[in-house]
Amino acid sequence: MLDSEAATAALAAEFARSLEPGDVVALHGELGAGKSVFARAAMRALGVTDEALPSPTFAIIQEYEGRNCRVAHMDWYRLDGVEELEAIGVRDYFQPPWICLVEWPERAPELLPDKAVHLFIACVPDKLDARAIRIECS
């Protein structure tokens, strides 16, 4: 159980230390669950120093420079179809030097590589600032 946003960010930073170029992280969870909080803290730990880390909802992909890696933060929420991602050449981001963090992966699950790490973040009833998190490696 993660009791605060800070706890989620701390876990994300620790988790990020295990990531290597070529890794793909699928962030599952409802709107407001904390996918972006997790992704931003992970990106910071990966060495992304940009002052603002805007949500990629409108751009689908935001690209960043990390330490010994590049980071792609994606949000597939507003995706019109798989074709849109294929047109962008999304699979290129699943290879080194990229580390790829994907919010709303369930919009196009068939596009995710088999090796993706799946992270499920969920709110906890009656506990406003608590979250439950589960990590699955396929």
Ligand X SMILES: Nc1ncnc2c1ncn2[C@@H]1O[C@H](COP(=O)(O)OP(=O)(O)O)[C@@H](O)[C@H]1O
Task: Give the shortest CB-68-to-ligand X separation in angstroms.
Answer: 26
Q: Is 32 in the site for ligand X (CB under 6 A)?
A: yes
> Quick one: 84 or 129, whose CB is closer to ligand X?
129
DSSP 59: T
How many residues touch ligand X (CB under 6 A)? Answer: 17
Q: Is 2 in the site for ligand X (CB under 6 A)?
A: yes
> Quick one: 4 or 68, whose CB is closer to ligand X?
4
**Scanning residues 64 to 123, which ones bind ligand X (CB under 6 A)?**
103
What is 30-98 written as a DSSP string? -TTSSHHHHHHHHHHHTT---S----TTTTSEEEEE-SSSEEEEEE-TT---HHHHHHHTGGGGGSTTE
- The answer to whether the CB of 41 falls within 8 A of the CB of 69 is no
> Quick one: 69 or 102, whose CB is closer to ligand X?
102
The CA angle 50-128-2, to the nearest 5 degrees, is 65
For ligand X, the binding residue among 17, 18, 20, 31 (CB under 6 A) is: 31
The residue number whose beta carbon is nearest to Mg ion equals: 36
- The answer to whether the CB of 41 falls within 8 A of the CB of 2 is no
What is the Cα–Cα distance from 119 to 35, expressed in whole angstroms? 9
Task: Give the shortest CB-53-to-Mg ion separation in angstroms.
Answer: 11
Q: Is 62 in the site for ligand X (CB under 6 A)?
A: no
Q: Which residues bind ligand X (CB under 6 A)?
A: 2, 4-5, 7-8, 29, 31-37, 103, 129-131
